[in-house]
Amino acid sequence: MDLRQLGEFGLIDRIQKRFPPPASTVLGIGDDAAAILPSKKQHLLLTTDTLIEGVHFDPAFSTFQEVGYKSVMVNVSDIAAMGGTPRYILISLGLTGRQRVEAIDQLYKGIERASRETGLDLIGGNIAFSTGPFFISPTVVGEIPKKEMVTRAGAGEGDHLYVTGTLGDAAAGLALLKKGIDTKLFGRLTRRYRAPQARWREGRLLAKARIPSAMIDLSDGLSSDLSHLMERSGLGAEIDAAEIPLSAPLQRAALQMGVDSIEYALNGGEDYELLFSVPERKLKKLELMIKNGLIKAYRIGKMAPRRTGLMLINPSGRRRALAPGGWDHLKKGEKG
Amino acid sequence: MDLRQLGEFGLIDRIQKRFPPPASTVLGIGDDAAAILPSKKQHLLLTTDTLIEGVHFDPAFSTFQEVGYKSVMVNVSDIAAMGGTPRYILISLGLTGRQRVEAIDQLYKGIERASRETGLDLIGGNIAFSTGPFFISPTVVGEIPKKEMVTRAGAGEGDHLYVTGTLGDAAAGLALLKKGIDTKLFGRLTRRYRAPQARWREGRLLAKARIPSAMIDLSDGLSSDLSHLMERSGLGAEIDAAEIPLSAPLQRAALQMGVDSIEYALNGGEDYELLFSVPERKLKKLELMIKNGLIKAYRIGKMAPRRTGLMLINPSGRRRALAPGGWDHLKKGEKG
């Protein structure tokens, strides 16, 4: 069906049927604003991140369902990086004449799946019609007990750096898709690019156990995101190249593409793993949680004095300064 | 300066300097998410509304400062329609290579002005770079004491309908601009189109006094927005054409353009006045507030049984059914 036939209010009705107001919401879709009743003694976390067709996704590589799913996950990832619990979501859409109702249904199917997986209630949004590229701009609201919030700013010198999973997979997945390489063998990589998993359970667990001194999610790439954490904490950092967790498919794919796999891990974005710093005195507690299978986390380096800048230590022991090579939304034209 | 030269993080720094974190904000711009501490016993209101270049504004008619200002006001207007107090704002931008840093500075100047006027703290957002039209998508957070919230759904049969100001001005202003008519004589009309005032003080005052049984802001046009209020309240309505407040400039402009001024008032959007229903027993209180100069409000009709639908009563007493003639974001291509 053509979207213009259905109209804005027809589409809103359709969305409203898919997302009936949950008990925890005071007022959901369909009024001038949504209303919620925040929990006592919790900070409310607010974040917004946009996906634009042709910039953040390519319809040739991702289905509408995947785009909807991913748009939720990239926002949940920001809540995860504060240690918060995802609670509510608003979806702002910029539609064009090219989208049919079926595509928008698929988009909301992906939004619904990601929302259900992460505990989000869809409570509102906006639909606009445009000539330009399709875009989706969710706003996600999370909650966190006052004393458990983790920012980018709290890292101390000597704190150990951890990541929650393998790095570079999503960037390698996108590179494979762009090169038109048969990706059947590399499902893990393309899946991580198309339908990333936000580590909100991990973020919440870590924050509740008061383990991280600082935390950020890896959306732009390790070198770039670690630089933000360094800057906000007023420190430098050293990364042990040999310690960065790399998946077997990434290593195979890098070999096939003739690229050093570490490049994807250092500068490739969109893995949505968490990067966090851990003071020495919390190390035992974290290592026990890892050992007991409560959480996956890999030590990759440590915080250093500011003058150190960002250093990569190669397996041979050679050190080289690392420039933030990740994603800047204004300086580059296309992601990956 | 070229935006690409400044880069995303350079631009964020620039914005951060303009909007230092206020005391009421736990965590402002610069981390993964913003954090606020909601007030006790208040509902939190959330709304988002997007302005897209070429759809919701024309760079030939509005400066970047006006676009920034208006983008805030249209969102504040949604908070006003619930009776709430505007508190926080996040700004999501879709930039293109055509915007220079100077234009974005102007945009934020307008955002800053509107935020200051309405008591908003800018606490976060997102910047994306796109090939398509420029867009700005604010999310505004408001607060309202639990028992004072006003929705679209509470109107009763026989409740009187009021608006907070003259209607049709913004639509006539846009029509003048489009026709290239010298607008010096019609400053009030074009100003209302370019830099609308959200009636949040009025909304707050009415809600606090528990006067409205239902309320909505007039963004799409009286016929269209009243239809939403009717639908959500399960009722019909009758409008007295002679009672609709029309400004003198609107009447002059309509004459000059050969259009019936009532058409702008009924079907023209973007006035951002509040439309609210008042039960008979609250009428005296409201009329006293009006008489004492606390608020401007004009009675334009009353709620009727559902079967009435939406009726316009002409000065001669003749009744005609009114079709919602306002703005549907998917069905039409351009606003106005």
Identify the CATH number of the domain in which residue A141 sits: 3.30.1330.10
Domain of residue A195, CATH code: 3.90.650.10
Chain B partners within 8 Å of A135 (Cβ)? 94, 128, 130, 132, 135
Chain A / chain B CB contacts < 8 angstroms: 239
Confidence of residue A334 (pLDDT cuts 50, 70, 90): very low
pLDDT of residue B336: 33
- Candidates A11, A24, A32, A276: best to mutate against B (most CBs of B within 10 A) is A32
Residues of chain A above pLDDT 90, percent: 80
Same domain for B185 and B247? yes
Model pLDDT for residues B224-271, shown as the tens digit of each residue? 999 999 999 999 999 999 999 999 999 999 999 999 999 999 999 999
Is the model's pLDDT at A48 over the cut of 50? yes
Q: Which of B127, B148, B169 is the last residue of a domain?
A: B148
Cα–Cα dist B12/A160, whole Å: 28
Same domain for A166 and A310? yes
Out of B34, B79, B94, closest to residue A50 by CB: B94
Question: Region A295-299: what's the mean pLDDT?
Answer: 98
Q: Which of B110, B128, B148 is the last residue of a domain?
A: B148
Chain A partners within 8 Å of B99 (Cβ)? none
Q: Is A37 left (phi over 0), alpha (psi -120 to 50) or beta?
A: beta
User: A173 lies in a domain?
Assistant: yes
Please check if A220 is assigned to a binding site.
yes
SS3 B231: helix
Question: Inter-chain contact A152–B31, Cβ cutoff 8 Å?
Answer: yes
- Tell me the residue range of the domain where B236 lies: 160-321
Is the model's pLDDT at A198 over the cut of 80? yes
Same domain for B28 and B137? yes
Question: Inter-chain contact A46–B34, Cβ cutoff 8 Å?
Answer: yes
Please check if A260 is assigned to a binding site.
no
Q: What are phi and psi of A293, to 5 degrees?
A: 75, 15
Same domain for A315 and A288? yes
Out of B4, B125, B217, closest to residue A32 by CB: B217
pLDDT of residue B328: 59
Torsion over CA: A197, A37, A31, B110 (sign): negative
User: B240 lies in a domain?
Assistant: yes
A266 touches A174 (CB < 8 A) = no
Same domain for B28 and B177? no
Compute the mean pLDDT over every residue in chain B, rounded to the nearest whole number: 92
Compute the mean pLDDT over every residue in chain A, rounded to the nearest whole number: 92
Question: Inter-chain contact B139–A90, Cβ cutoff 8 Å?
Answer: yes
Please check if A219 is assigned to a binding site.
yes
- Find the residue in A nearest to B128 (Cα): A329
B163 touches B274 (CB < 8 A) = yes
Confidence of residue A211 (pLDDT cuts 50, 70, 90): very high
Question: Inter-chain contact B8–A144, Cβ cutoff 8 Å?
Answer: no
Question: Inter-chain contact A33–B78, Cβ cutoff 8 Å?
Answer: yes
Chain B partners within 8 Å of A153 (Cβ)? 31
Model pLDDT for residues A76-91, shown as the tens digit of each residue? 999 999 999 999 999 9
Chain A partners within 8 Å of B95 (Cβ)? 330
Cα–Cα dist A89/B46, whole Å: 10
Closest CA to B70 of B109, B119, B126: B109
The C-alpha angle A41, A44, A46, rounded to 5 degrees, equals: 170
- Candidates B85, B276, B330: best to mutate against A (most CBs of A within 10 A) is B330
10 Å Cβ neighbour count for A89?
27
Confidence of residue A185 (pLDDT cuts 50, 70, 90): confident
Is the model's pLDDT at A333 over the cut of 60? no
Same domain for B7 and B115? yes
pLDDT of residue B334: 38
Chain B partners within 8 Å of A139 (Cβ)? 46, 48, 90, 92, 139
> How many domains are contained in chain B?
2
- Candidates B31, B100, B137: best to mutate against A (most CBs of A within 10 A) is B31
Is the model's pLDDT at A335 over the cut of 50? no
Same domain for A144 and A170? no
Chain A partners within 8 Å of B38 (Cβ)? 38, 44
A78 touches A47 (CB < 8 A) = yes
pLDDT of residue B1: 78
Name the strand (E) or helix (H) holding A93: strand A85-95
SS3 B35: strand
User: B294 lies in a domain?
Assistant: yes
Question: Inter-chain contact B131–A128, Cβ cutoff 8 Å?
Answer: no
Same domain for B117 and B188? no
Is the model's pLDDT at A26 over the cut of 90? no
Chain B partners within 8 Å of A329 (Cβ)? 8, 127-129
Same domain for A197 and A102? no
Out of B32, B55, B328, closest to residue A152 by CB: B32
Confidence of residue A327 (pLDDT cuts 50, 70, 90): low
Q: Is B96 left (phi over 0), alpha (psi -120 to 50) or beta?
A: beta
Give the pair of three-digit tokens for residue B156: 């009763």
User: A331 lies in a domain?
Assistant: no
Is the model's pLDDT at A106 over the cut of 70? yes
Which segments in chain B show pLDDT lower than 70?
Answer: 325-336
User: A329 lies in a domain?
Assistant: no
User: B334 lies in a domain?
Assistant: no
User: B153 lies in a domain?
Assistant: no
Q: Which of B148, B179, B212 is the last residue of a domain?
A: B148
Same domain for A242 and A316? yes
User: B208 lies in a domain?
Assistant: yes
Residue B316 CB partners (closer than 8 Å, separation 6+): none
Q: What are phi and psi of A108, to 5 degrees?
A: -70, -25
Chain A partners within 8 Å of B81 (Cβ)? 32-33
List, as residue ranges, the binding site of B for Mg(2+).
32, 47-49, 78, 126, 217, 220
Chain A partners within 8 Å of B199 (Cβ)? none
Out of A31, A126, A144, closest to residue B49 by CB: A126
Question: Inter-chain contact A7–B328, Cβ cutoff 8 Å?
Answer: yes
Same domain for B102 and B37? yes
Residues of chain B above pLDDT 90, percent: 80
SS3 B140: strand
Same domain for A290 and A202? yes
Question: Inter-chain contact B26–A43, Cβ cutoff 8 Å?
Answer: yes
Confidence of residue A130 (pLDDT cuts 50, 70, 90): confident
Please check if A271 is assigned to a binding site.
no
